[in-house]
Amino acid sequence: MSRIKNFTRNLATSYIQLGVNVVYSLVSIPLILHFLPKEEFGMWALLVQLIGYMALVDLGMTSAVARLLVDHKDDRDNGSYGSLLKASFLVSAAQGFLVLLLLFFAAPGVASLMKIPTEQAPDFILLLQIQGVITAFMYLSRPLNLILYAHQRMDLQTYLEIFNLVASLGLLILFLNGGNGIFSFVYANILTALIGPIYLFWSCKRLGLFPQAGEWGVVTRKQFREVFSYGYQIFLFNLGSQLQFASQTIVISRALGLESAAIWAVGTKMFNLLIPLMVRPYGAALPGLYEMVARNELHRLKDRFRSIVQLTASLGAFLAGGFILCNGLFIGIWTSGRIVWPTLNDSLIAVWLFVLSLQTTHCTFVSVTKRFGAMSYVLLAEGCCFILLALTFGNRWGIPGVVACSIFCTLLFSYHYGLRRSCFFFQCSLKTIAIDWVRPSLQLATVYTLIVVSVWLCSAELEPLWRLMLHAMVAGTVGVVLFLRLGFPPEFLSAVKPRLPNVAIQLLSMLIGPRPARSESNL
C-alpha cells in the first residue's frame, strides 16, 4: 500500500510542478523577449544546454548511488547504506570542484568553438563562469536528493523545485526591470541555489533518513568499484542521451546562428514541458520497480512495467496531437509575431514525441535491472550519428532537417535495441512487446491523428486566436476522452480508487468503459 501512496503522491506533486513550470514559461518568455534581443536570449539558451553537459562530470555516480541505495535502505545495520552516502558526499564535492575548474578555464575556448560574435564573447564567457560556480555549489547537495529518492519522497524535492520556479520568476522580473540584461538569469539563480541545501537537509533530518550513530559504515575499495562499475555504464548512457536529445540548440547555433537558436528555444518550449509530462508516471514508478527487482518480485514487475509502457505511449500520442493543434498558433500569439514557427516543425516534433514515448521506457529499463548490455554504447553511437547527420542536414534543411535526424536516429538505435532487451528480460516475442503491449496506444494515435488533420483543415480560415481556442478545446475534450477510453490502462483505476472522490471514480469508469484489468497484482 505504501508503494501506491508514494507513487500517487510523487506523481501528483510532479504534475503540480509542471503546471507551475508552464506558468513560469508563459510569463518569462514574453518578458525576456521584451527586455532582451533574440540574439542574447539565444546565447542564454545555448549556455544552458552547454551547462547541461557538465552533468557528464558526474560519471554516472549519482544515478549509481541512487540505484544502490534502494537495495540497501531497508538494512542499515551492516553500514552499507551509510557508507554509500559517505562516498556520495566525497565524490560530489570532488565533482563540483572539477566542474568549477572546467568552466573557468574552458569558457574562452567554448565561446570560440560556438562562434559567439566578438562583441558578445566577453559576456558569454563571464556568464558561463558564474553559472559554473552555481553548478559546482549545487553538486554539494546532490546526496540529499539521493536520500529522498531512495525512500520514494521525490515530492519533497518537487516542492523545492516549485519554490525555485516561483522565486526565480519574481527575481527575474526584478532584475530585468532593473536593467541587468542577460545577467539577470545568473543573479536569480544565485539566490535560489542558496536555499535548496538547507531545505533538503531539514527534510532528511525530519524524516529520520540519515543513518544513526554506528550505521555510517566504512567506505571500502570494493564498494567504490561497484559504484564506479555501475556508474560507468550510466555515464555512457547519459552521454549518448545528451548528444542525441540535448544538442539541438548547440547544433542549430553553430549551423544557423544565435537567432535560430533563440527561435528553436521558444518554439520547443512546450515540447520540453510535454516530455516530463509524458515520462513522470514512469519516473514516479521507478523506485517501486527497483524494489521489485531487489525483492525478486518478477511477476509483479512485468505487470507494472507493461502498464507503464502503455500509459507512457498513450500519453505520447495524446500530447503529440495536442502539440500539433496548438503549439504553432500559440507561439505566434504568445510572442506577438516575433517568432515564426512553421507547421512542418510541429508535425515533425510531434512524431518525435510519440517515438520517444515508445522508446523511453524500454531504453531506461536497463537501469531497473542493472543489466545494461550494450545499451550505453548504442546510445553513444546514436548520439554521435545524430550530431554528424544534424550538422550536415541542418545547414541544408534547417530546423526540420535537425528534427528529422533525431527521429531517424532514435528509431534506428535506442528504440530497436531497447525493445530487444525487454524481450530478452521478460522472455517475450518482439511482436508481444512492440505491438501487443501498446496496441491501445497505437489505436489512440491513429484515431487522434485523423481528428487532428480534420480539425486543422476545417479551421484554416479562422483568425489565429479563435483557431487556437478551437484547437485547445478539441485537445482538451476529444483528446482526453480518447486517451481515457483507448489508451488509459484500466488496472490503474482500481489502484487509485481509494484516493479519488466518488464523482471522479464514476466519471473515469464511464469514460474508460468495462475493460477488465489485465492483472490484479500489477500495482
Residue 43 has pLDDT above 50, yes or no: yes
> In angstroms, rounded to a whole number, what is the distance separating the alpha carbons of residues 427 and 368?
16
pLDDT in tens, 348-404: 999 999 999 999 999 889 878 878 788 888 888 888 899 889 888 877 888 999 999
Name which of 252, 260, 303, 268 is nearest 490 in CA terms: 303
Residue 245 burial (CB < 10 Å; 0-12/13-18/19+)?
A: buried
Residue 520 has pLDDT above 60, yes or no: no
Cα end-to-end distance, the chain, whole Å:
9
Highest mean pLDDT among 147-161, 248-262, 328-342: 328-342
DSSP assignments along 299-311, one per residue:
HHHHHHHHHHHHH
Neighbours of 427 (CB within 10 A): 8
pLDDT in tens, 68-123: 777 767 667 777 777 777 777 877 787 788 888 887 888 888 888 777 888 888 88
Name which of 220, 223, 211 is nearest 82 in CA terms: 211
Range in 4-13, 311-320, 419-428 with the lowest mean pLDDT: 4-13
State the pLDDT confidence band at 442, using cuts at 50, 70 and 90: very high
Position 502 scores a pLDDT of: 66
The three cell numbers locating residue 48: 544552458
pLDDT in tens, 268-289: 988 988 888 898 888 878 877 8
Identity of the amino acid at 296: N
Q: What is the DSSP letter of 460?
A: T
Contacts of residue 287, Cβ cutoff 8 Å, sequence gap at least 6: 6, 70, 149, 150, 152, 154
Residue 522 has pLDDT above 50, yes or no: no
Cα 36 to Cα 59, 183, 220, 333, distances in angstroms? 36, 11, 52, 18
- Total-model pTM: 0.68
